[in-house]
């Protein structure tokens, strides 16, 4: 992970490192579980954070790690830390907007706080739209564009001649 980050940085591309729970590697980490819960695992996260900083990362995402571990990493590295389930002591916070807005259903990680529950409203709106399209209620006259009778007649006559010449 560190060697890849270093190569990307050397190519002139800014890199945001990511430690703790990395969803793309969750199956290798035992699933979507908190990382760094043992002293040894927590120390390794600190080592990894320093290694990514030394590789040239511009910042670090700290995901699903105990708050005291994230606080220690934030205090020790000179680059910004962005927490997602890593407590209040990171330099910034992030949530996946699908979770924040309640667009997804089912199990959510402990660190997710919902600020809305839009999934039901969206489903209701889509079902109402589909029903109105099927029944012919949408689009109504107020949702269409008209043209004058004279222009409609000229259009129709011109089209009939253009499509069926002679």
Q: Catalytic residue numbers?
A: 63
Cα–Cα distance, 117 to 125 (Å, whole number)? 14
Cα–Cα distance, 75 to 89 (Å, whole number)? 9
**CB-based contacts of 133: which residues, under 8 Å, 6+ apart?**
none
Cα–Cα distance, 82 to 38 (Å, whole number)? 22
> Residue 139, preceding bond cis, omega within 30 degrees?
yes
CB 65 within 8 A of CB 20: yes
Cα–Cα distance, 29 to 36 (Å, whole number)? 11
Ramachandran assignment for 107, one of left (phi > 0), alpha (psi -120 to 50 degrees), beta (any other): beta
């Amino acid at each position: 992970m560190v060697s890849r980050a270093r190569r990307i940085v050397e190519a002139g591309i800014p890199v945001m490192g990511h430690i703790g729970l990395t969803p793309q590697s969750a199956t290798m980490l035992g699933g979507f579980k908190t990382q760094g819960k043992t002293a040894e695992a927590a120390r390794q996260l600190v080592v990894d954070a320093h290694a990514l900083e030394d590789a040239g990362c511009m910042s670090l995402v700290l995901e699903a790690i105990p708050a005291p571990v994230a606080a220690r990493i934030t205090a020790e590295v000179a680059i910004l830390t962005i927490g997602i389930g890593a407590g209040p002591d990171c330099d910034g916070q992030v949530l996946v907007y699908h979770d924040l807005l309640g667009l997804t259903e089912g199990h959510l990680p402990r660190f997710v706080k919902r600020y809305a529950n839009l999934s039901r409203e969206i489903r209701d709106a889509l079902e109402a739209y589909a029903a109105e399209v099927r029944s012919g209620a949408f689009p109504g006259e107020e949702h269409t564009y008209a043209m004058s009778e004279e222009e409609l007649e000229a259009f129709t006559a011109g089209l009939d001649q253009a499509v069926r010449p002679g």
